[in-house]
Amino acid sequence: MKWLHKDLLDVSQLSHAEVMAIFETAGRFQELQERPVKKVPTLKGRSVVLFFAEPSTRTKTSFDVAGKRLSADTFSLAKSSSSLQKGETLKDTALTLQAMAPDAIVIRHWCSGAARFLADRLDCSIINAGDGRHAHPTQALLDSLTLHQEWGDMAGKTILILGDIAHSRVARSNVILLNKLGAKVRLCGPRTLLPPAVKHWQAEVYSDLTEACKGVDAVMCLRLQLERQHDGLLPDLREYARTYGLGPRHIDVANPEVKILHPGPINRGIEISSALADCTDSLILDQVSSGVVVRMALLFLYMTRKGDE
């Protein structure tokens, strides 16, 4: 498939066929993970700027590893080491980066729409690594790839997304992508952590965790984003853990061999019990591995989109 997109801003841009093409490309890179020398010259001479205005460990490292394994030059820019700290606008930072002629910029920013802001102004490819509460397309892609590798076709599977839905760009992108792939999506969390517009999402909404878990094929726990909560939405962590922390009793009512996911970092004993995080049906570490190959696939597709690979 000839890749026609310049930027990846959200999964809503992608057709089902394009998602499958990403998975197929990621699958080809999977074999590279097993080699003694985990590197190919595919993007030699290309450059990727990792512009992370918010803290990140998994996503930033994953993109860095993905770029290096494709032999691209990667350059990291964090808020603390950029002129944003000195009051420079995002527009001026973008223009400065453009003058350095990168082939792609991977951006994480606290403002929803920051990735589109850059995409509308710059000629290079922009890949959204999370913008405010809006979207996290690469996380959704790696989550679905992880399940795709387990099940193949996801049509008819039921997947529960549990926790802090209101502040989660991961939840938003996953709801869109899982529906696109034919899965049924459920959401569960405290009323204060559900967004007002959730009734318009393509998902069933539950307030009782045991009911939400009945008959599901996978449960995706979300991190409690306490840094985004300023209105006393969650006054008591112990009460949250008691009511919405995923434990063995909830899995007992799910389908056999139910899969457990979490985008990380995990707050053990609050969002999920250690017993489930480490169980044989946990795909949490598989998600990390999927993250590298999905991001390799995206860098490859977006940085060679003119057919000059």
The full DSSP string for 84-112 is GGGT--HHHHHHHHHHT--SEEEEEESST
Contacts of 36 (CB under 8 A, 6+ apart): none
User: According to the annotation, is 16 in a ligand binding site?
Assistant: no
User: According to the annotation, is 223 in a ligand binding site?
Assistant: yes
Q: Both 42 and 184 in a single domain?
A: no
Q: Both 69 and 160 in a single domain?
A: no
Q: Both 234 and 295 in a single domain?
A: no
Classify residue 5: in a domain, yes or no. no
Q: Both 146 and 64 in a single domain?
A: no
Classify residue 218: in a domain, yes or no. yes
How many angstroms separate the CA atoms of 78 and 242, rounded?
Answer: 37
Containing structural domain, residue 44: 11-136+291-303
Three-class SS of residue 297? Answer: helix
Q: Both 44 and 118 in a single domain?
A: yes
Classify residue 2: in a domain, yes or no. no
What is the reported pLDDT for 291?
Answer: 97
The two structure tokens encoding residue 202: 């393509």
What is the reported pLDDT for 77?
Answer: 82
What is the reported pLDDT for 306?
Answer: 63
What is the reported pLDDT for 73?
Answer: 97
What is the reported pLDDT for 227?
Answer: 59
Q: Both 34 and 171 in a single domain?
A: no
Rg (CA), the chain: 19
How many angstroms separate the CA atoms of 249 and 257, rounded?
Answer: 14
DSSP 138: H
Q: Both 162 and 34 in a single domain?
A: no
What is the reported pLDDT for 309?
Answer: 40
What is the reported pLDDT for 232?
Answer: 55
What is the reported pLDDT for 85?
Answer: 60
- Residue 299's φ and ψ, nearest 5 degrees, are -60, -45
User: According to the annotation, is 59 in a ligand binding site?
Assistant: yes
- Give ∠ CA 230-139-218 in degrees, rounded to 5: 95
DSSP 49: E
Mark the ranges of the chain whose per-residue pLDDT is less than 70.
79-86, 226-235, 306-309
Q: Which amino acid is at 71?
A: S
Classify residue 98: in a domain, yes or no. yes
Classify residue 309: in a domain, yes or no. no
User: According to the annotation, is 86 in a ligand binding site?
Assistant: yes
User: According to the annotation, is 265 in a ligand binding site?
Assistant: yes
Number of structural domains, the chain?
2
What is the reported pLDDT for 132?
Answer: 93
CATH number at residue 168: 3.40.50.1370
> pTM of the predicted model, to two decimals?
0.93
What is the reported pLDDT for 33?
Answer: 85
What is the reported pLDDT for 2?
Answer: 87
Query: Residue 131, exposed/middle/buried by CB under 10 A (0-12, 13-18, 19+)?
Result: buried
Classify residue 153: in a domain, yes or no. yes
User: According to the annotation, is 264 in a ligand binding site?
Assistant: yes
Q: Both 142 and 268 in a single domain?
A: yes
- Strand 104-109 with 125-131, pairing: parallel
Q: Both 297 and 169 in a single domain?
A: no
What residues are paired with 74 via a beta bridge? 48
Classify residue 6: in a domain, yes or no. no
Q: Both 186 and 282 in a single domain?
A: yes
Classify residue 177: in a domain, yes or no. yes
The two structure tokens encoding residue 65: 């590893």
Q: Both 193 and 102 in a single domain?
A: no
Contacts of 13 (CB under 8 A, 6+ apart): 5
Q: Both 181 and 283 in a single domain?
A: yes
